[in-house]
Each structure stands twice: as C-alpha cells, then as structure tokens.
Chains A and B, each alone.
Chain A
C-alpha cells in the first residue's frame, strides 16, 4: 500500500452492495482510518458511523449480520478476498488490501452482505437433525455415551450452520437440489448418539432422497473451508457407507 503524504495509515475496503433482493449488485470503495487489531466487522462498523465512500460521496451504510463476534454463531459469514469465512475472525492485519467483501451468493441475498440461510435450516429439518425424546410420560434416563465417543462427537457438534461449506461446494447451486455437507455431517452426529441412534434409519432414509447424499461429487472443498475443522468428507463417506448398508438391508428385507 502506498502511504499518503500525511503518513496516516488507512484501510481500503471494496464492498459489494445490493439494495434489494432482486437489484443488480454494484461495488463501492471505502477508505477508513487504520486502528490496531481491526477486524472486518469493526471496519463495517466504521462505515456505519460514517457512510462516505473513498471518493467522498455520502452513501447508505452497508448492511451485514453479526452476533457472537467470536466465531461461534456463523451469522457474519461472507466472502472475504474470494474465500467464504467469518467476518468477525477476519483480522485486517492478516488480509491483503484492498479487502474485498461480497455476500455468499450461493444463498439468496437480502441486502448488501446479508444473506438468507433458510435452506440450511430446511435441510436440518429434512434429515431430522434432533433427538426425539418428548412423550406423554417420563421415559427415564437414556443410555450413557462413552466419554471417548463424546469427545469425538463434540467435534461434529461444533457446526454453527454458517454456510461456508455450501458456498464452497460446486454442487450447491440453483440447478441442483443438494442439501450440502453440513446436514449430512449432522446425521452422523445424531446417529452416533445412543438415544439418537434409535431413529437412525429415518435420518438415513432422508439422505436417500432427492437432493440428499447423492448430491456430493467429492470436490472436497467443504472440508478445507470449514472454519470449525469438521471432518466433513469423512462424515459424508461414513454416511455413504451407512446408507449403502441400509439400501442392501432393505432390499434383502432384513
């Protein structure tokens, strides 16, 4: 970055803007005063305080979503310098400038950087990513989970439905009904649980429908992109094994 004569350090952002869900996207440049330890969210907050573009014209503040600010909720996911990731854990000092921000366009864009991740929640409903324990009477305690297994399953439970894996997947697009890697890994998690296991066939069968596990084409981008380091491709292959077994069992009437 070329320093200005005043030697005042600045940060340059190029932000993709979109006024309504159907509007055409356009980009705007912003030049903000640098502060130590800035992240992308604090940059966006600065733009919100002073919505003036790099060439000095006033504009509307950029819209984005964020909640936890510690990379556990997934709300702030966006494409930063070409890679989908969380804005709250994207430190300006570690990013190449100008910093380019775009929404994750695999999802419908609501406005600017705000997207609608509803399809992911629909996918979780489709595969029944929960454990049904409600009844009309107290069913008592369920079976215990071995500690070693719990530690292993904990890794899978870190998924925050952020959508980064769907954004990186070449098979998640509007010509394809693939539900994406996250929900498949959740089936593995809930099927590993001693109580959840009691309904495992239902979840496997959900994966064996249109848009289910067959949608995976093994590009393996998901596992390299997941901010939580979830072993998505191992989960997918493990569910391939379980659905295959289930398929043969059903055929043989076992």
Chain B
C-alpha cells in the first residue's frame, strides 16, 4: 500500500465499525444472556450463533481477517502518533491518546481471550457447550476477573470513541455541535455496552456456571 495510505486508513476505519463494532455489540448482548437468563440462556445464545449458516466463513471473513487488519494496521497508526497530553490537556486530546492505548490493550486482550476460549474449542480441549464453565473458571479468579474488566473496558472504550471518530472520518458529523452531540451518544454507548460485559462477567463468576467444571480441568494449566 505504499504511496497511498488513504485507502488503507479508510478500510481500517470502516472495519472498526463494520464488522468489528457490530461484533462487539452482538457479543455483549449474547454474554448478557448469562446475566439475564443464566446458563440455559447463555447456552441458547451460543447455540443460535453456532446454528448460523457458513459459520466458519463468517468467522474468518467477518472477524479474524478484519481484526488482524485493523489490529495490525492500528498498531502502526499508534506508532505514528505522539502523545502530547502534558502540553495540551484537553479532553479530546486525552481521548486521542486513550484511543491508541486502549487499542494496544485490546490487541493483547483479544488474542489472549480468543486463545483461552475459541482456540481451546478448535484444539478439542473443550466443547462449545462447556464455554460457560470455562468462563466461570476465569471469572471466579479475582486476578482474572480484574484483567478481564480492564480488557473489556479498554475494548469498549476503543469501540465507542472509535465510533465518534468514525463519524468524523467519513464526514457524517461536521460542525462542533454535531460532534459534541455524537460524543454524548458515544459516551452512552460506552456505558451501556460496558455494563453488558461487566454484568455478564459477574454472572459467569456465579455458581450456576460451575457444573461441568470437571471438563474444564483439562486446560487449567493455561489460565
């Protein structure tokens, strides 16, 4: 892409919302079933997703490849930026730096989280049905719980603040008033989506998700 970073940056921006932003919202809603409806609700949610047609293709083209492109190019974008929040202590400038820091945290967190869950399913160490107890195992360790809260908050902030930036990058919010109103809406998105994830983590740490914990024994060494 030498010579024209315009197209790579546009693609990077688009992928951040479609599909990645869409995915994070759906993911939050599915997990929230664990809080709302307990293990059965969560299992149903997982089942619904598993019954989608051409799931492997959806996963590859809808999640893995966009995530790799956005994540790796995002690391490059972050490398190209300075942080001057010491000299310019404006809220938006803090958000600029936070967008980059949370991007890096999300990068690490997402790979670690996918390794603990989806990759274990691929490796045959656990089945899809056991993901609830896998999460119970993770969420009931205080250290893991804290790391997950940090990872989730970073990813959701990155998505919400990214949505605000996306609306500017594509010329949708132009004037200061439009950008201010969109920042309130994006802050609302941050609070709501964060709540979905944190409440589901709380639910996962509960005892209802403990059954079938034996099956999780096989991978305790990864935790």
Partner-B contacts on A (CB < 8 A): 82-83, 168, 170-171, 173, 175-177, 207-214, 216-221, 224-225, 231, 233-234, 236-245, 247
Q: Is the CB of A242 within 8 A of B171?
A: yes
Min CB gap B169→A, angstroms: 6
List residues of B (67-97) whose CB comes within 8 Å of A's CBs: 77, 79-84, 87-88, 90, 92-93, 96-97
A210 interface neighbour in B6, B93, B171, Cβ under 8 Å: B6
Rounded to whole angstroms, the CA-CA distance of A239 and B81 in the bound complex is 21
Asked whether any CB of chain A lies closer than 8 Å to the CB of B189, the reply is: no
Shortest Cβ distance from B93 into A: residue: A219
Rounded to whole angstroms, the CA-CA distance of A219 and B174 in the bound complex is 15
CB within 8 Å for A217 and B171 given contacts A170-B84, A209-B4, A211-B5: no
Chain A residue contacts of B196, Cβ below 8 A: none
Shortest Cβ distance from B90 into A: residue: A224
Q: Is the CB of A219 within 8 A of B10?
A: no
CB within 8 Å for A175 and B179 given contacts A211-B5, A244-B170: no
Q: Is the CB of B5 within 8 A of A214?
A: yes
Q: Is the CB of B82 within 8 A of A234?
A: no
Rounded to whole angstroms, the CA-CA distance of A175 and B76 in the bound complex is 10
Q: Is the CB of B81 within 8 A of A176?
A: yes
Q: Is the CB of A218 within 8 A of B3?
A: no
Q: Is the CB of B90 within 8 A of A218?
A: no
Chain B residue contacts of A210, Cβ below 8 A: 2-6
B84 interface neighbour in A211, A221, A237, Cβ under 8 Å: A221
Rounded to whole angstroms, the CA-CA distance of A213 and B5 in the bound complex is 10
List residues of B (4-35) whose CB comes within 8 Å of A's CBs: 4-6, 9-10
* Mask of B140-165 contacts with A, CB within 8 angstroms, 1/0: 00000000000000000000000011
Chain B residue contacts of A247, Cβ below 8 A: 10
Q: Is the CB of B93 within 8 A of A170?
A: yes
13 contacts between A and B (CB under 8 A): A170-B83, A170-B84, A173-B80, A210-B2, A216-B169, A218-B92, A218-B96, A218-B165, A221-B92, A224-B90, A239-B171, A240-B168, A243-B6
Min CB gap B113→A, angstroms: 26
Q: Is the CB of B171 within 8 A of A241?
A: yes
Chain B residue contacts of A170, Cβ below 8 A: 81-84, 93, 96-97
Rounded to whole angstroms, the CA-CA distance of A83 and B86 in the bound complex is 11
Q: Is the CB of B174 within 8 A of A238?
A: yes
Q: Give the 7 A-B CB pairs with smallest separation, nearest first.
A: A241-B171, A219-B96, A214-B9, A240-B171, A220-B92, A237-B174, A176-B80
Shortest Cβ distance from A225 into B: residue: B88
Chain A residue contacts of B79, Cβ below 8 A: 175
Chain A residue contacts of B170, Cβ below 8 A: 240-241, 244
Rounded to whole angstroms, the CA-CA distance of A175 and B83 in the bound complex is 13
Asked whether any CB of chain A lies closer than 8 Å to the CB of B176, the reply is: yes
Asked whether any CB of chain A lies closer than 8 Å to the CB of B173, the reply is: yes
Asked whether any CB of chain A lies closer than 8 Å to the CB of B175, the reply is: yes
